[in-house]
Amino acid sequence: MEIEYGEPIPEGETKEPPRGFFTVIRHIGPGIVLSGSVIGSGELLVTTRMGAQFGFVFMWGVILCCLIKYFVQIELGRHCMITNSTSIQAINRFPILKFRNTTILNIFFFAIMVMITPGLSGILGANAGLMYSIFPAVSGKWWALILYVITMIMLWRGFYKDIELPVVLMVGGFSFAVLVCFFLMQGTEQYRVNGAQFLSGLTFKVPEGSMLVAIALMGSTGVTAGEMFMYPYWIKEKGYARWAGPLTESNREDWARRCKGWMNVIRADALICTLIATVITIAYYLISSSILYAGLKVVPDGMEVAKGLASMFTETYGRWSYALFMFGGFCTLYSTVYVNAAFSGRVWTDICDSLKLVKLETEEQRVKWHRFFQMFWPGMWLLFFIGIPKPMTILLWGLRFNGLWLPFLALGVLFIARHTLKDIRMSTGEHIALWATVAVMIVYTFMYFILSVQEPLWYRRGFAVVLAAFTVYTLVMTFRHKIKA
């Protein structure tokens, strides 16, 4: 019955879980923060790039990439809520080779984090390019520096509430604008999406030369590998674990009831996050396929990426909508920069603590390291952007690594799910859905290795062998270890 807590859960802070739809909605939040991180790099940039380059044909892949991650997300959320753990602490419980009590799976993740740094610089660069399009008197590089400074000031206190409310406001406004744009587009003769075009996107075809963008799509839409890894951090800071309370010998029944109640809130939180990302992503994809691919035949890139994307709106709204798009586009892109900057401080502090590279004996020391990494890694994004002036190109290559990390993370979650206490374990239906989800992720990734002829053969074969070996190892460990009662 013992639980290995990431941090002790204080007694006396328990709260009864909410009942009723609107009461539950008032207690969500971490999923909206994730939406703020993803809607920007994925939906605004990668999805529109896919639509502009290949048209309607890959819409099935867009939908799949958004929906497929839901059960992995809620299982990570469940584990965090029960154990008050971060993702690093959770994955460290996976039975595999460790270095300084840190699993090679976590070390691999942080290698991926370093490799996607150029991708995050691409998001910062696209945001700077958008500001340059509005105010050309200031160069794009200076705008990137200004955005960096603003971010550091806004996140200096390090509170969760400093993240949640601004992100909700930033995502909500532009999401509404995109949906309005789509419905206005349907009223035009030239750009409306007809039934034949829509159905052509559901034929499970893979356009030639699309696999690099496709794997970036898996790594940037819906809730991505990186965002799923950050989800437990926001759940922990939101307070669900404190409200569920610690498990003791005498309170197991009440504890399990509270856990199940708060787990329903996490399910709603993840579901709303998934639905927002799916609806907005489909709207972006259809708009870009119709206007950029079929109409204007433009594939946005470089410092003009924001200006090129604005044509999707000006072609439907009219010229007056340019300012509206630029404001909304800034909110969408900046939310990604903002959330990832906050996450970088937390996760790098966590991994350095796990590797015993820093001392975190007091809360003041933790905050100090949060602030350091929160400044250092966005500073690296800034330097990469200054040195590499093509944000879309580096964004796609960076997010490619995010997509390749996804099946490894999902396999780790399989082990966690099977070894959760039976009182609050996922249902049989959810368990089946989780296994099916992981299987699809693995198949999708192997498709990349088979079809992505742009990659060196040694790289594709090597990564495929590593993934296959890790899959077999995870399955053996999952069924070999005793399930908790």
pLDDT, tens digit, 9 for 90 and up, residues 59-101: 888 888 788 888 988 998 999 899 999 999 999 988 888 998 8
> From the centroid of its chain, how far is CA 254?
33
pLDDT digits (tens, 9 = 90+) for 249-261: 888 899 999 999 9
Mean pLDDT along residues 170-179 = 77
Report d(CA 211, CA 215) in Å as an integer.
Answer: 6
Name the residue with higher pLDDT: 451 or 458. Answer: 458
pLDDT above 90 for 152: yes
Domains and CATH numbers, the chain: 21-403 (1.10.4160.10)
Does 395 score more than 70 pLDDT?
no
Poorest-pLDDT segment among 154-168, 303-317, 369-383, 448-462: 303-317
Compute CA 388 distance to the chain's CA centroid, rounded to the nearest angstrom.
Answer: 24
8 Å CB contact between 398 and 123: no
Mean pLDDT of 206-210: 66
Mean pLDDT of the chain: 82
CA 185 – CA 312 distance, rounded (Å): 9
Rounded to two decimals, what is the model's pTM?
0.85
Integer Cα distance of 96 and 284 in angstroms: 41
Higher pLDDT, 47 or 298: 47
402-414 average pLDDT score: 82
Query: 240-254, 414-428, 451-465: which range is least confident on average?
Result: 451-465
Task: Give residue 223's pLDDT band: very low, low, confident or very high (50, 70, 90).
Answer: low
Q: Identify the pLDDT of residue 393.
A: 59
pLDDT more than 70, % of the chain: 82
User: Tokens at residue 29, please?
Assistant: 């939040």
Closest by CA to 102, choosing from 83, 88, 114, is 88
Residue whose structure tokens are 């029960």: 82
Q: At what angle do helices 70-83 and 428-451 cross, to 10 degrees?
A: 120
Q: Buried (b) or exposed (e) across 57-70, using 16+ Cβ within 10 A?
A: bbbbbbbbbbbbbb
What pLDDT is recorded for position 226? 75
